[in-house]
Amino acid sequence: MPTVQRRTPTVLSGALTLLALVVVVVALVVPDRLEDVTPTAFLRLPVELVVLLGLVLALPDRARPLRRLLVAGAGIILALLTVLRALDIGFVEALNRPFDPLIDWRYGPDLVETVRGSAPGALGVLLLGGAVLTLLGIVALVPLAVRRLARVARRHRPAAARLVAVLASAWVAASLLGVQVGSHPLASDDAASYAFDQVARVPSELRDQRAFVRAAASDPERDTPAGELLTGLRGKDVLLVFVESYGRVALDDPGLSGPVTDALADGARDLGRQGWSARSAWLTSPTFGALSWLAHSTLQSGLWVDSQRRYDHLVTTRRETLSSLFGRAGWRTAAAVPANTRDWPEGAFYGFDHVYDSRNLGYAGPRFGYPTMPDQFILDAFRRLELAPRDRAPVMAEIDLISSHAPWSRTPHLVPQDAIGDGSVFEGMPETLPSESDIWPDADRVRAAYADSIGYSLRSVSAFLSASADDDLVVVLVGDHQPATIVSGDDAGHDVPVTVLSRDQGVVDRITPWGWDLGLRPTADAPVWRMDAFRDEFLAAFGPEGDTGTPPASTR
């Protein structure tokens, strides 16, 4: 019995030490891309662990405070690096780019709101709670694991010193010989390289922000007389319609394009019979997978807004937007932002006379997950509120459609246009549609659900235009960004479709020099512009002289 009592703590202590070693090695070598997280990725020798243990053993007993500081600092730094890598995995999967610690922490409230909207009730709380506990677990466990390894090394100093010498020699030999474990080098310095990259990017980002500040302060359109603005669109109602997640992959990927191209073909046939003309091309969005407001502000302002830091500065400036320029030229300006459930202070930057959101569009139907209301209702409500009244000024508006927002569940069915009303017709529909739990266990289902949602949004636009009695309506239909990586795949690019539609052939003729394709669907060889080029090209095309300049070179 006494023997058992002595052995049990020893076994437990050894298990805890082994667990600490696993935690530290995993934290040091974990990749920052999900596709690289394989079993062989963790069968590696991290030089950072060898160096840390060597320093701990080299410091004399009288330097105990310094040793404690070294171990504590190493544990905290490694925990932070592990959290950053975990965030990188999530951001690459969702946004096709790594996490930026200088900017992206500001997206926390938006992420929480999106998750709670997409997965209401207990599921949303569970998802958010699990994410928070995971991050807190990393922050707590990694420093404790580093501390335990250091204590064990000091307690068994001679044996630990021999082990460190062997590991150091093995690391040098593996590095020189280029020994691989799967697709990864056995001799790892990933954590040190990652930390260096994080620090090295700071000066570059600060220089980039200073350049953006200068660009935002210089806007030649600010001095353009109102009488010279948008003369080619006088008397026209102009709608800038963003389709959420409508990316190039929806047209180029054969596994997705069926519902989308069918919707475009049906729309082209129906609208063509009613005298609509269209030209289409591609725009390169500054964002991917989410953060739609970066795309909206880029297209509106003519500046490349690819980060929250840039956006936060932009909305404090006097930079002219398409909507503010239309307002100066005599249009009534409005925005329909149905995803918003509270006031939107940034709307003042755009110069909107009125902002519609989920609270004042008059919707009396059910919510469809994250989307507060169907696209078909949004468009019809805007028609009723802004386009139907007589004796009014021409209207320019930005309308944000959200039925194709992730997670692409509970996509509505079209209803007859004359039955839309206050949206009560949609009552009971969400319960009949696939939910997140039906779709997300299978990536193929996610992709199919995405394609169906884009098809629905495009059919909603076509139905709205077909029912319109406004012969002076001009629509710019554009995607805001590509869908997340689970749909788009890796390295899908940032291109989105853009289409200009009008019943007035003279309007469409104004953009003929752009070289855009005829119709609602751009071909693979259609021009590709950066999204920030659109504002100035649009102003030039519809200014007093028409488009007499040279369109921006394709970024293909």
Do the beta carbons of residue 331 and residue 322 sit within 8 Å?
A: no
C-alpha 466/C-alpha 414 separation (Å) is 14
Whether 134 shows a pLDDT value over 90: the answer reads: no
Q: What is the pLDDT of residue 32?
A: 78
C-alpha 425/C-alpha 340 separation (Å) is 22
What pairs with residue 354 in β-bridges? 334
Q: What is the pLDDT of residue 1?
A: 45
Rounded to 10°, the helix 443-467/375-382 angle is 20
Do the beta carbons of residue 462 and residue 414 sit within 8 Å?
A: no
Q: Which two tokens stand for residue 305?
A: 């807004």
Rounded to 10°, the helix 443-467/254-273 angle is 10
Read off the pLDDT of each residue in 91-99 and give the average, rounded to a whole number: 73
C-alpha distance from residue 337 to each of 373, 386, 425, 481 (Å): 11, 14, 21, 17
- 527-552 pLDDT, tens digit per residue, is 999 999 999 999 999 998 775 556 77
Read off the pLDDT of each residue in 296-306 and give the average, rounded to a whole number: 97
Q: What is the pLDDT of residue 367?
A: 94
What pairs with residue 242 in β-bridges? 400, 478
Using a pLDDT cut of 90, give the percent of the chain over it: 63
C-alpha 407/C-alpha 421 separation (Å) is 27
Q: How far is CA 488 from the centre of its chain?
A: 12
Q: How far is CA 468 from the centre of its chain?
A: 33
C-alpha 496/C-alpha 292 separation (Å) is 12
Read off the pLDDT of each residue in 292-305 and give the average, rounded to a whole number: 97
CATH class of 235-541: alpha beta
What pairs with residue 530 in β-bridges? 284
C-alpha 313/C-alpha 301 separation (Å) is 12
- 338-352 pLDDT, tens digit per residue, is 999 889 988 899 999
Q: Which two tokens stand for residue 189?
A: 């310095």
Read off the pLDDT of each residue in 237-248 and give the average, rounded to a whole number: 97
Exposed/middle/buried for residue 313 (C-beta within 10 Å: 0-12, 13-18, 19+) = middle
Whether 515 shows a pLDDT value over 90: the answer reads: yes
Strand positions, DSSP E, 80-125? none
C-alpha distance from residue 246 to each of 235, 242, 260, 317 (Å): 30, 8, 10, 29
The pTM of this model reads 0.79
* Domain definitions of the chain by residue range: 2-204, 235-541
Q: What is the pLDDT of residue 121?
A: 60
- Could you tell me the pLDDT band of residue 124, with boundaries at 50, 70 and 90? low
Q: What is the pLDDT of residue 554?
A: 66
- Could you tell me the pLDDT band of residue 122, with boundaries at 50, 70 and 90? low
Element at 495 (helix H, strand E):
strand 495-502
Q: Which two tokens stand for residue 468?
A: 């319109």
The top-scoring range by mean pLDDT among 25-34, 125-134, 515-524 is: 515-524
Average pLDDT, the chain: 89
Classify 250 in phi/psi space as left (phi over 0), alpha (psi -120 to 50) or beta. alpha
- 439-493 pLDDT, tens digit per residue, is 988 999 999 999 999 999 999 999 999 999 888 999 999 999 999 999 998 888 9
